[in-house]
A and B are shown apart, each in its own frame.
Chain A
Amino acid sequence: MASSSPATATAHADAHPAHLQHHFVSSDQQFDAAKMGMWLFLVTEVLLFAGMFVAYTVYRVWHPEVFVAGATLLNPWLGGLNTVVLLASSFTVALSIHFIQKGNQKALLINIALTMAAAFVFLVVKYFEYTHKFHLGIFPGENYAYADVSVPYIQQFFSIYFVMTGIHGVHVLIGIGLFIWLAIRAAKGHFTSEWYTPVELVGLYWHIVDIIWIFLFPLLYLI
């Protein structure tokens, strides 16, 4: 969109930065608006997952033994590893914002790359977990075919497990796409200490993906 300067006689006397869209008065207004929009979006993500957490709670209240039995079929060490990997990626995202705020474009790029790598590791681990379960015949819902553990309603647990981690995984995948986009723009030097809104927003998104996993890990793997 061309940043057309409207024929207003108002406060445009000061410098008009290239990233400032015409309908905003100042860069701060634009940044605050973008950030508030992102927080609102994050709230919609929270409520999207809330639906699944409600399903989890309801079935856990009805059949607590199923969830205890189900957790034994999941590997807490792989889940724990993935938790640490995601926490580390959250850390590097926070670092990337820290560095671009100080104008360090190189450190920004490095930290985005590290985050991307961590997200990739997470998905690889998840892939091995999934394929192992499919190998055993652990499928969601009506396709559940693992004879060793056949507590009534156990397939319910795995429906919830696969849907929750699956949708979370899709979010990780989207995150990787966003980080690739950020990395390209960072490499081109688009971000400065004056303007780094996309880094900030993707960072917020990535932290919420991390937070969802912080809850999924104990609820599914541990208890």
Chain B
Amino acid sequence: MEHAEGHGHHITALRTLLFTFLALVALTVVTVITAQIDLGAMNVPLALTIAIGKATLVVAFFMALKYDNKVNFLVLTVGLIMVVVFVVFTLFDTAFRGDIDNVDERTIDQIERIEAAAKG
């Protein structure tokens, strides 16, 4: 009901589609080349950034989300937020596994006695 008339669908121009495709191929070449160079810690973020850029191009132009109903954009955004939640909240655990500092075979009483002995 968002469209008033019957022929309201956006037709993406051939030029736009072609340029999108060429940009995608170019970015693929860039990512292959940069991956061969050792950039230290930067390799992973760079490759991911390029991949996100490529995915954005596909979504915006090939899938025509740029011209589409806003609600579909909302659907995708909420989905992507959940992916981020999934990754980040799992990493809260796995990246910090074993950070409980009071895990000790000795009892508190034993520890206190040893510490007291060390002091005195």
Contact = CB atoms under 8 A, between A and B. Distances in A.
Contact between chain A and chain B defined by CB under 8 Å: yes
Given A47-B82, A204-B63, A207-B63, A39 B28 contact: no
Interface residues of A, number: 50
Given A35-B72, A54-B90, A215 B55 contact: yes
A183 to B, nearest CB: 20
Contact of B91 (A42, A57, A223): A57
Interface residues of B, number: 50
A91 B21 contact: yes
Contacts of B69: 32, 35-36
Interface in B45-64: 47-48, 50-51, 54-55, 58-59, 61-63
Interface string B69-83: 101100110111011
A39 B72 contact: yes
Contacts of B55: 211, 214-215
A76 B31 CA distance: 11
Interface of A: 26-29, 31-32, 35-36, 39-40, 42-43, 46-47, 50-51, 53-54, 57-58, 61-62, 76, 80, 83-84, 87-88, 90-91, 93-95, 98, 101-102, 193-194, 203-204, 207, 210-211, 214-215, 217-219, 222-223
7 contacts: A28-B2, A43-B79, A84-B28, A87-B21, A101-B11, A207-B59, A219-B47
